[in-house]
Chain A
């Protein structure tokens, strides 16, 4: 497999469960290391020594948020900045800016993750990922656990945030509609391999094999049924 993630664009890793898309994302952040081959970040291969520096320039968000249950929202978001001994006023300014960006009410900052709704937790998780102003955002099904209305609203907000920040984004999803909404480019995976990559429209128009068009069209069918039922 050979994959380059272009800077400043949103790349969506698409595929069904077990296709390897989450593993690919975890390779990028160094949570797993490759059996063979290399993962390079900003032109330099990731090594155990370079990982901790590289991770500070990546933000990682997972499905349930991965928030630390024993810490308040404030502590969750600022834990790494505190560890790096940022000045208190710098931390506070950054925290407030992020709360504004992510649309989190200030009153929630001293709550614990268990006291928040699922949508609020994802906002906090995004704030935490953005705290050090990373170059790259890695998101693993960030909206997967949310109900549809909240999910739709957060999708719009997230896309606005990505556009305003101009960051390189890699997002994992199995939802073709979500991919269509976010992606500059999609990477369709199956059984640990990349089947095809490019713009979604290209994949739809010129599928590399039968599975590509099957995967893209499978999620169309329920929409067509829905439209028919509403008509």
Chain B
């Protein structure tokens, strides 16, 4: 939480989110941050780790659905998270690709050199596979991946990670000589819906996915033995063993307890029966380890409050900073036209970066969570304010500008007393535009672990739960409207009656 001291609003929200639900009250707990990737199984495992750490006396926080492998791994290396669930195949093929590792035995040594430890396997293997609807595969006579060679027109939809990574589609295509050209990347959960509806013919699967049974899919046999083993393990930082030995011990107790059938059933509880990840994790822990584990379910209103605080923190900090920087930049652009072209151009280029990409670009610089999200939102909020400040100043009619000069007012006083007041309406309009864009764009911040209204939207997409999506989308829309109305009031307060209601500036 080192960075949080810079961001009190966010820190409050985080503290609220991290407050332990029922276990481990007391003052001397060690903070432990657990991460998980953006798919259900990882979130359930992350919840298990959080609850196990809580029960072991730590003050554990679970940053759920932080993104893909790279984000989690980098977060672990940087110490932003202490532990997360990972798969040995991913470690070998993706994270340590290019690093010589003799066998799985050598893996621990390679990790240790990076300050990372790995538990024994949890007990199940979640391998990649290619899947099709069972009836469709039967009608085409496809049972193995090599059978796909005879059907070049099949449409394929893969999770973006599978599409890009070395052990994913590219390697598979080369290994099997697959001819399909109609391949697109999309969210894993959307892919299931696509294949179920017939929009896609072949998708990538995780072999413990509950949807395989639910949608009556078959996993095609990997007859060339392409996919490596993907044993689930827990990765944690070496220093965690010193800081919180009880937590590491609790993690170790989970090894060997979770077989593929159980994992698939837990996935099903969440994705198909609609249980929460924390409830599914708590049920498993209670049955396996004994004792009472609680999911820490929050009521709708508690969730809404936390998400609202997070969202307001992101928007409030980034927008305030944008105002503080953008208005002077707009003034500078107006006063120094040569420099102004660069300022307006630069702000314009920032705006052309797709917002999602901007969020991800910030990760190497600022890590994960609120700081990079605030930075991305800040950068994104600059242009409308800079532009409108510039335009507002440039639109001050020449006779008025010259009258102020002829009076003998020095440049600073002219700016303060004449030009900025006359540009107020334009500047406020710019801030309003920025604020509304900011409120909407901040829903993407959940993708890099910053929470906010994007969190339920993300979870809702993953679980195909429209209610959850609305739980994020509706408040975000309401907040955008409230921001708009709020600026109407600010405008009334700041503008003298002569400048309200569209009175021309040159009256």
Cβ-based interface call for B349 (8 A): no
Residue of A nearest to B497 (CB): A112
Cβ-based interface call for B103 (8 A): no
Please report the C-alpha to C-alpha distance between residue A114 and residue B504 in the assembled complex, in whole angstroms.
Answer: 9
Contacting pair A70 B422 (CB below 8 A):
yes
Chain B residues with CB under 8 Å of A60's CB are 403, 406-407
Residue of A nearest to B410 (CB): A52
Chain A residues with CB under 8 Å of B498's CB are 69-70, 112-115
Chain B residues with CB under 8 Å of A31's CB are 402, 405-406
Please report the C-alpha to C-alpha distance between residue A28 and residue B97 in the assembled complex, in whole angstroms.
Answer: 76
Contacting pair A68 B404 (CB below 8 A):
yes
Most chain B beta-carbon contacts within 10 A, residue among A29, A62, A69, A71: A69
Chain A residues with CB under 8 Å of B507's CB are 67, 69, 112-114
Contacting pair B503 A79 (CB below 8 A):
no
Please report the C-alpha to C-alpha distance between residue A30 and residue B406 in the assembled complex, in whole angstroms.
Answer: 8
Please report the C-alpha to C-alpha distance between residue A95 and residue B504 in the assembled complex, in whole angstroms.
Answer: 27
Cβ-based interface call for A199 (8 A): no
- Binary contact readout B409-451 vs A (1 if CB under 8 angstroms, 0 otherwise): 1100100011001100000000000000000000000000000
Chain B residues with CB under 8 Å of A128's CB are 407
Cβ-based interface call for B499 (8 A): yes
Chain A residues with CB under 8 Å of B409's CB are 79-80, 83
With contacts A55-B408, A80-B408 taken as known, whether A66 is within 8 angstroms of B496 at the C-beta atoms is no
Residue of A nearest to B417 (CB): A79
Residues in B449-507 with C-beta less than 8 Å from chain A: 495-499, 503-507
Give the distance to chain B from A147, nearest Cβ to Cβ, in Å. Answer: 19
B interface, how many residues as a size bin? 20 to 34
Q: CB < 8 Å: which of B400, B405, B418, B503 contacts A114?
A: B503
Chain B residues with CB under 8 Å of A71's CB are 496
Please report the C-alpha to C-alpha distance between residue A80 and residue B418 in the assembled complex, in whole angstroms.
Answer: 12
- Binary contact readout A106-142 vs B (1 if CB under 8 angstroms, 0 otherwise): 0000001111000000000000100010000010000
Residues in A49-78 with C-beta less than 8 Å from chain B: 52-53, 55-56, 58, 60, 62-64, 66-71
How many residues does chain A have at the interface if contact means C-beta atoms less than 8 Å apart? Answer: 29
Chain A residues with CB under 8 Å of B495's CB are 70
Give the distance to chain A from B398, nearest Cβ to Cβ, in Å. Answer: 9
Cβ-based interface call for B291 (8 A): no
- Binary contact readout B106-117 vs A (1 if CB under 8 angstroms, 0 otherwise): 000000000000
Residue of B nearest to A134 (CB): B408
Q: CB < 8 Å: which of B405, B406, B410, B418 contacts A68?
A: B418
Cβ-based interface call for B399 (8 A): yes
Q: CB < 8 Å: which of A52, A62, A70, A115 contacts B403?
A: A62
Give the distance to chain A from B37, nearest Cβ to Cβ, in Å. Answer: 55
Residue of B nearest to A128 (CB): B407
Contacting pair B399 A80 (CB below 8 A):
no
Please report the C-alpha to C-alpha distance between residue A70 and residue B418 in the assembled complex, in whole angstroms.
Answer: 8
Chain B residues with CB under 8 Å of A26's CB are 402
Please report the C-alpha to C-alpha distance between residue A93 and residue B395 in the assembled complex, in whole angstroms.
Answer: 35
Residue of B nearest to A113 (CB): B507
Residue of B nearest to A32 (CB): B402
Give the distance to chain A from B451, nearest Cβ to Cβ, in Å. Answer: 42
Please report the C-alpha to C-alpha distance between residue A115 and residue B497 in the assembled complex, in whole angstroms.
Answer: 10
- Binary contact readout B139-151 vs A (1 if CB under 8 angstroms, 0 otherwise): 0000000000000
Chain B residues with CB under 8 Å of A115's CB are 498
- Binary contact readout B384-409 vs A (1 if CB under 8 angstroms, 0 otherwise): 00000000000000011011111111
Chain B residues with CB under 8 Å of A67's CB are 400, 403, 507
Please report the C-alpha to C-alpha distance between residue A31 and residue B405 in the assembled complex, in whole angstroms.
Answer: 7
Give the distance to chain A from B426, nearest Cβ to Cβ, in Å. Answer: 13
Please report the C-alpha to C-alpha distance between residue A70 and residue B400 in the assembled complex, in whole angstroms.
Answer: 11
Q: Which residues of A contact B (CB under 8 A)?
A: 26, 29-31, 52-53, 55-56, 58, 60, 62-64, 66-71, 79-80, 83, 112-115, 128, 132, 138
Additional 19 contacts, C-beta under 8 A, given A26-B402, A55-B408, A128-B407: A29-B406, A52-B408, A55-B405, A55-B407, A60-B407, A63-B399, A66-B399, A69-B400, A69-B503, A69-B504, A69-B505, A70-B499, A71-B496, A83-B413, A112-B496, A112-B497, A112-B507, A114-B503, A132-B408
Closest 5 CB pairs of A and B: A66-B403, A114-B507, A112-B498, A55-B408, A60-B406
Q: What are 28 A-to-B residue pairs whose CB atoms are below 8 Å?
A: A26-B402, A30-B405, A52-B408, A53-B408, A55-B406, A58-B406, A60-B403, A60-B406, A60-B407, A62-B402, A62-B403, A66-B400, A67-B400, A67-B403, A68-B403, A69-B400, A69-B422, A69-B499, A69-B504, A69-B507, A71-B496, A79-B417, A80-B407, A80-B408, A83-B413, A112-B496, A112-B507, A114-B507
